[in-house]
Amino acid sequence: MPLPSFFMRDEPLISHSFWLRDHCHCPECYHSVTKQRLVNTFKIPRDIKPKSVTLSSTGLDVIWDHENHKSHYPYSWLNKHSYDPKITDPYLPEGAPKITWDNSIASNLPEVAYKDVMDSDKGLAEWLNNIHIYGFSFVSGVPVTTEATEELAKRISFIRETHYGGFWDFTSDLGHGDTAYTDLALGAHTDTTYFTDPVGLQMFHLLHHDGEGGHNLMVDGFHCAKILKERHPSSYKTLSEIGIPAHSAGDPSTHIIPSPRRNPILNHDPVTRDLVQVRFNNDDRSTMDHLEPEQIDAFYNALFDWNKVLTDEKNLLWTKFQPGRVLIFDNWRCLHGRSAFTGKRRMCGAYTNWDDYRSRWRTLNTSAEQLAEDL
Ligand SMILES: C[N+](C)(C)CCCC[C@H](N)C(=O)O
Ligand SMILES: O=C(O)CCC(=O)C(=O)O
Ligand SMILES: [Fe+2]
């Protein structure tokens, strides 16, 4: 295990020693249960230096020149967090690589059995890994009840309450001021673009339909973004930069808009520049009153290029919901829609926060010790 090279310098740079002291995880400095810092960072002298540094069998032992404080840094921790030299890339994406898809996925839809999901963490992990990799998963064999569906949603985490309620059970009765509560066709969209934090997962379970239509549309937003970037790089850039105001104002005494007011359709990690979130619902897009006159053309050209990819048959996965078969998808990646329908159509489902989904996925796929070392 190489010593962090800043120790090898003649005079370790002040901040590097401070950095190490700041990250002491001894019981005095770091709460072993809550994983929170106890030490008062601002009482550590900025020019703190090691009085002695020794390599033990498990890690680096340091005695500091302030209060003779003793710190121990396991080699595995240093291997994970050392930045000089950088040994592990702190920005590596989590988990298995995502697999983007077009409608050819129809021949091999990610699906798990309700019983497996409910009976074991192994089954739950497989379900969440499907969502992690493909952005969606079906669950077969779900009892056709709201209770079983709600219980399934809660297998992941608590449900995200919104102005639509918590667990929703809806028909086309305009129960809420949104076209989802009608029998109209809905183009591919992501939900809640008007929230500062758009919902993470969305679950649908068709309980009953005695009419025609109501087919479900799924589109992989990450796949479409890739195509847009290849075919129309300037449009990709435009939709990554121009903010889109959005609103939900159909319910009495409800007027929801996000903060900041405008977020792009394609949102990227500020460091890796990886695409992390697609926010697109053209029906909920508010008035575009913030552009410079010369941006208007570029915006609509980019929007049309995006729509062309989004509506290319090749990218559309059409399925027909069946009672007993639940769909769940990542609302930050996958778009959904539906064809118009007739008759009585009763759906139920729920939202899950993105962070709560990722937390569940993480704790199912990584040991508590490993996760603790990541902090
Ligand atoms: C709650 N439930 C899923 C039934 C309807 C939600 C409507 C969401 C809205 N059309 C949007 O795109 O944000
Ligand atoms: O009715 C459906 O199939 C989906 C409607 C919809 O987009 C939604 O509820 O968010
Ligand atoms: Fe929707």
Per-residue pLDDT of 24-34, as tens digits, reads 999 999 999 99
| Whether the CB of 162 sits within 6 Å of ligand 2 | no
Q: Which ligand is nearest to the CA of 284?
A: 1
Q: Which of 9, 8, 7 is nearest to 17 (CA)?
A: 7
Alpha helices by DSSP H, listed for the chain, are: 5-8, 14-22, 75-81, 114-119, 121-134, 146-156, 221-231, 233-241, 293-310, 354-365, 368-374
- DSSP string for 103-130: GGGGGG--EEEHHHHHH-HHHHHHHHHH
| Interval between CA 192 and ligand 1 midpoint (Å) | 7
- Tokens 């050209």 locate to 301
Residues lying with their CB under 5 A of ligand 3, a single-atom ion: 191
d(CA 92, CA 374): 12
* Model pLDDT for residues 285-311, shown as the tens digit of each residue: 999 999 999 999 999 999 999 999 999
pLDDT at residue number 265: 98
pTM for the model: 0.95
pLDDT at residue number 2: 52
Q: CB within 8 A of 34, min separation 6: which ones?
A: none
Q: CB within 8 A of 242, min separation 6: which ones?
A: 262, 264, 291, 295, 298, 299, 302
| Interval between CA 24 and ligand 1 midpoint (Å) | 46
CB atoms within 10 A of CB 155: 16
pLDDT at residue number 287: 98
CB atoms within 10 A of CB 362: 16
Residue 71: HSE in the Cβ half-sphere, 13 Å Cα cutoff: 27
* Model pLDDT for residues 79-88, shown as the tens digit of each residue: 999 998 899 9
pLDDT at residue number 15: 86
Bridge partner residues of 52 (DSSP): 63
Q: Which residues of the chain have pLDDT under 70?
A: 1-14
Q: How far is CA 135 from CA 100, 202, 330, in A?
A: 8, 11, 5
| Whether the CB of 186 sits within 6 Å of ligand 2 | yes
Q: Determine whether 261 is exposed, middle or buried from the number of CB atoms within 10 Å of its CB (0-12, 13-18, 19+).
A: middle
